[in-house]
Amino acid sequence: MENKITRLKIDTTKVNIIIAGDSRAEKQLFPSIIEKNTGYNTINIATKGGDLVSFLYAIKNRYSSSNLIFVVSVSSWQINDGAIDFGYLSNKGFQQMSFLERLRLHRDNPREFISMYFVLLSETFNDILDRPKELTDGEALAIKNNKGFRGNTGYFQLLKDSIETTKYFENHAWYKHFSNSDVRWTKFQEVLQALSTNKSYFIMYQPPASPYWKQLTRGTFIDKAELMYSKKLVEATKKYTNMEVYDFYNNDLPELNDSMYYEYQHLNKKGAGLFSEKISTIILQHQQKGVSKK
């Protein structure tokens, strides 16, 4: 996320829209469309696996202005203690936990526990030497050509049968060993409180999923988990005047049919275009209120 922030410069004396969060913002929101519809400079600093903890520390000493509106994707895996496969627990998230919290999170995955410490040591060493993080070719192109947006084309394939479906659910990194009321949820709430002191405004959203995925998961623990997360997110943010939440998972957008997704829970470029239009409308409605609930 820092890589994008340092390369996508903005003038904080003017209104700017900053898209942030995980891959469901990085690949699903076009800065160009939002900028065209709202008239405000827009950049996309979202990254794959970009959780709310990483987001807080990336913007903490860089952005705090009433001219800034953040649009943040907050997928439900961010509060699941079981979602700790590589890439789903950020280095900053791990760093902000106590030793006991880290142990609780990795009690069934000691190898990943040790691996995270090596990653932290490596990051600390690079910080001491002031080594900049290198961009991948994809990141460099996204920054140069699309102000940080990295969309995908194509369509998903249907699962063959119930056996393949069951296996897919069991191995899904977002819902493994499901537990969404412990360590990561506590840290998530702490970040919300910290963001509430920032002068900026935050539009957070629970991303949409394809009708096919919703049909597959209807009545399952995944369906219940997403609904529970939505309620927790609304309840946790309602006391903060610089935040609002939109649930696009449990409240379908009819125009986003299966052909708009390249993967069950990720929009393709065509779907991203329509979703960007929807977010543009929300931003304009917010601005028309004359602003923040502050």
From residue 219, alpha-carbon distances to 39, 76, 173, 193, 213 in Å are 42, 17, 19, 33, 12
- 28, two tokens: 């699903």
* pLDDT score recorded for residue 130: 58
**Residue 3 banded pLDDT, cuts 50, 70, 90:** confident
| Range 206-219 average pLDDT | 96
Task: Count the helix, strand and coil residues of the chain and give each as a percent rounded to the nearest 5.
Answer: 50, 10, 40
* pLDDT score recorded for residue 290: 65
**pLDDT, tens digit, 9 for 90 and up, residues 115-132:** 888 887 877 766 666 565
* pLDDT score recorded for residue 128: 65
Q: Residues 46, 148: contact at Cβ < 8 Å?
A: yes
**pLDDT, tens digit, 9 for 90 and up, residues 196-212:** 999 999 999 999 999 99
pLDDT of 73 > 70? The answer is yes
**Residue 293 banded pLDDT, cuts 50, 70, 90:** very low
**pLDDT, tens digit, 9 for 90 and up, residues 175-184:** 988 999 999 9
3 state DSSP class of 132: coil
pLDDT of 93 > 80? The answer is yes
Judged by average pLDDT, the poorest of 10-19, 208-217, 236-245 is 10-19
Q: Residues 49, 90: contact at Cβ < 8 Å?
A: yes
| Range 124-145 average pLDDT | 73
| Nearest by Cα to 73 from 21, 29, 34 | 21
Judged by average pLDDT, the poorest of 129-133, 142-146, 161-165, 244-248 is 129-133
Q: Are strands 261-263 and 266-267 parallel, antiparallel or unpaired?
A: antiparallel
Helix extents (H) in the chain: 2-7, 23-26, 31-38, 52-59, 91-95, 99-105, 110-128, 137-146, 162-171, 183-195, 211-217, 221-237, 269-288
3 state DSSP class of 82: coil
In the chain, the percentage of residues whose pLDDT exceeds 70 is 95
| Range 134-157 average pLDDT | 88
> What pTM was computed for the model?
0.91
| Range 38-43 average pLDDT | 96
- 280, two tokens: 């543009």
| Range 26-39 average pLDDT | 97
| Range 148-156 average pLDDT | 95
Q: Residues 172, 69: contact at Cβ < 8 Å?
A: no
pLDDT of 260 > 50? The answer is yes
| Range 138-166 average pLDDT | 92
Q: What mean pLDDT is reported for the chain?
A: 91
CATH topology of domain 2-90+136-288: Rossmann fold (3.40.50)
Q: Count the neighbouring beta carbons within 10 Å of the beta carbon of residue 260.
A: 21
* pLDDT score recorded for residue 98: 93
